[in-house]
Structure 1
């Protein structure tokens, strides 16, 4: 059984990587892969470089299925006069702590919400100087792990990344894709899918990401297998995954939503004949500094991925 590694998760969360600015998290992942790959059970080929922008592709054996885990996060860009512009869809709470770095050094600031007479909101950061235009800010890490749950910013999608790194330890055949830009409209999945399809004939994908607690998806209910969001995966492929989960008594719950998207929907929008399915643990306080996921759901997620990558490759 795959084991949850809170220390590695905390390290992943400490590394900044808003959409379009994933260089630091890419560098950490490459360093981690190079340091640990000799301890993995099977040999890996690492694809990175200019042709991949800040994405990374790992190839094990003869892959049929790829796991996609996006490495970017939500956050804010500093505009004019310390105004803030959202990256993706972060929650905005007056006084929330933000961090970043510009030409003058490290930044630790707070979000300030100003509301005008018409009820329109303006977002600014509290600072005693003007922050460089274009500086990206993200939630200040505040990691809390108990025996029951983990609560911290950026479980979406550092947990998905941790799942992929855990898979790599024992993976014999399969691909792992660390993608970018997911939180702000996508942008790398198309060329990454094309690379896998053209070079390895890979046409199946599992989306290692974190979903939402809703009326139908609850904490401690097991990993969520998404039957649809705004995009709809092919039912025959979904049925194979559901059968494997049921046969092996992996605790899971079925998600059916009308909105939301992921690397899966981006993959579906390409001209590639990929099957895909979003599978992830549910979190509360989505896109906020207090994202919360139960450890039992993390363990179910990791176990199902380990099983699927054995059965579907």
Structure 2
């Protein structure tokens, strides 16, 4: 599983440019599902038919990562940019980024800055080693995007990389599909969504098309287990977090209780998550059409939206166990 994680997190794929991620995932699942298609927005939708086709379950994990977009190239070949998603300017000083998955750039700031709190994206630039505008424009054009340029490091149980948000959720969906020992109870859609980081856009369109009876997003969540961290119950290595609330959704009580029951019945460690700010694809799914009972299973992650996001492999494994057991269980009471 670590090799799968490494392959996905190191691949290039800012919001709107998820093509490479989609092709990697598609190649791994096309012989394991009953239907596979890419919709107009770029979501990859895989159907695993269940014993009972009267109900539809949707599992969603987003393929995109935060990034940059080039807005201007000056006469000396330095590239100005804006953010794509929630990328803080403080995380970028001295960072290396990759434009279009191939051109490396180094980020620095203009002049002297006495107050770091005043640092803005418009005060930063990317240096791709060009000596003039023409040389730079031959490699990077206005509108081209970039992501962090980092490899995954294996620290034992802890793994560190860019784009754990939310390639680790994609891994959970892939491995859940691999580990199913029987046909799911209900038709199950494994959806790898696009453009989550810029407004849950892929989840909006895919859930409208699927019209599921139950939706579960799989994404990362913040933790409260670092020095002087925000007070929060979630920590690494204590199991997947079953969401109660974030800024985009109040989880349907029956969905939350279903996941708790599955975890307890199968001795799977879990945590309860109340996220003060931030959201997941569940925020879009639950507002689809006339409303979809929705929830979220979260992988605890330190340093979210940094180039060094950290997860615990045991939390990933237990997330897969919980989802696998859920799909193989009968939970008709949820649909009454």
Same fold (TM over 0.5): yes
TM-score range for the pair, normalised by the shorter chain length: 0.7 to 0.9
Q: Spell out, residue by residue over 1:39-69, the C-alpha distance to the aligned partner (whole angstroms, 9 max, x if none).
A: x4xx521122xx4331111111136321101
Give the match for residue 263 of structure 1. 281
Give the match for residue 176 of structure 1. 190
Give the match for residue 229 of structure 2. none
Give the match for residue 153 of structure 1. 162
Give the match for residue 82 of structure 2. 85
> What is the rounded CA distance, in whole Å, between the counterparts of 1:120 and 1:32 in structure 2?
42
> What is the rounded CA distance, in whole Å, between the counterparts of 2:250 and 2:330 in structure 1?
20
> Is this contact kept in 1: 2:200–2:283, CA < 8 A?
no
Of 227-236 and 68-77, the range deviating more from structure 2: 227-236
- Which of the numbers 190, 212, 216 marks the counterpart of 1:206? 216
> Is this contact kept in 2: 1:52–1:192, CA < 8 A?
no
Give the match for residue 52 of structure 1. 40
* CA 65–113 in structure 1, closer or farther in 2 if over 3 Å, else same: same
Q: Which has the larger radius of gyration?
A: 2
Give the match for residue 15 of structure 1. 11
Q: Spell out, residue by residue over 1:64-106, the C-alpha distance to the aligned partner (whole angstroms, 9 max, x if none).
A: 321101111101111112112111112423101111238xxx3
> What is the rounded CA distance, in whole Å, between the counterparts of 2:281 and 2:178 in structure 1?
23
> What is the rounded CA distance, in whole Å, between the counterparts of 1:262 and 1:156 in structure 2?
11
SS at structure 2 position matched to 1:64: strand
Q: Spell out, residue by residue over 1:126-158, the C-alpha distance to the aligned partner (whole angstroms, 9 max, x if none).
A: 223233111111011321113221111111111
Does 1:218 pair with 2:235? yes
> Is this contact kept in 2: 1:190–1:267, CA < 8 A?
yes
Q: Spell out, residue by residue over 1:183-238, the C-alpha distance to the aligned partner (whole angstroms, 9 max, x if none).
A: 111212222112212xxxx3101111111112311111111111101120111221
> What is the rounded CA distance, in whole Å, between the counterparts of 1:278 and 1:113 in structure 2?
38
- Normalised by the length of structure 2, the TM-score is 0.82
Cα offset, 1:123, TM superposition: 2.1
Cα offset, 1:7, TM superposition: 0.7
> Is this contact kept in 1: 2:259–2:322, CA < 8 A?
no
5+ residue gaps, structure 2: 74-78, 131-135, 225-231, 332-336
5+ residue gaps, structure 1: none
How many aligned residue pairs are there?
294
> Is this contact kept in 2: 1:223–1:300, CA < 8 A?
yes
Q: Spell out, residue by residue over 1:150-175, the C-alpha distance to the aligned partner (whole angstroms, 9 max, x if none).
A: 11111111111111111222442321
Give the match for residue 67 of structure 1. 59
- Normalised by the length of structure 1, the TM-score is 0.88
